[in-house]
Amino acid sequence: MSEGVFSKVHEGRGWRCPENGCKKFASLRVGSFFEGSNIPLTQLVEFLYFWAEGVQSTHFLTLNPKWSPNTITDWKNFFRDICVKKYLSNPEPIGGHGHIVEINESKFGKRKYHRGRQLSGNGCLVGLIE
C-alpha cells in the first residue's frame, strides 16, 4: 500500500494498493485504536496530546466546541483502559537494591452517623510508589 491524498477516504489521506487492477483504498486509521471512530483524526490526535500532557479538566476541554463532555469522558476512559491493558500485559517491577518503595494501605467503609459496626472484607486499597 502507498500513502497519498485520496478523496475516497474519510480524512482525504489514506492508503491505496499500487497493483494494477486492485484499486483498494484504506483509511489511515486502519489497524489503530482510532479505527472505529467518526471524529476527525486531527481532533483525536489533538485530544490525545492534551490527555498525555495531563490536561484532565473536563471544563477546560469543553471550552473547545469540538468535544462534548460525554465524548471527553469516553475518550479519557478509553485511553486509560489502553494504558491499563498495556501495563497488565507487561508489568514492570518496582524497587530493588538502593530504591525506596512506599506502601500505603487504606480501608474504606460507610457508617452513618458514626454508628454501626466496622465493615470487614472488600474496600481495601493498596498503593505503591517508588
pLDDT, tens digit, 9 for 90 and up, residues 76-106? 888 889 888 888 898 887 788 888 888 887 7
Domain count, the chain: 1
Within a domain: residue 68?
A: no
Q: Rg (Cα) of the chain, in Å, rounded?
A: 23
Structural domain span for residue 6: 1-30
**Backbone φ and ψ of 92, nearest 5°:** -115, 125
Inter-residue long-range contacts of 67-74, CB under 8 Å, 24+ positions, other chains counted: 67/43, 71/39, 72/47
**Which is more confidently placed, 100 or 29?**
100
Global pTM reads 0.58
Q: Average pLDDT of the chain?
A: 75
Within a domain: residue 18?
A: yes
Within a domain: residue 112?
A: no
Whole-angstrom distance, CA of residue 81 vs CA of residue 60: 22
The burial of 1, by beta-carbon neighbours within 10 Å (0-12 exposed, 13-18 middle, 19 or more buried), is given as middle
Which pLDDT belongs to residue 11?
Answer: 66
Whole-angstrom distance, CA of residue 109 vs CA of residue 120: 8
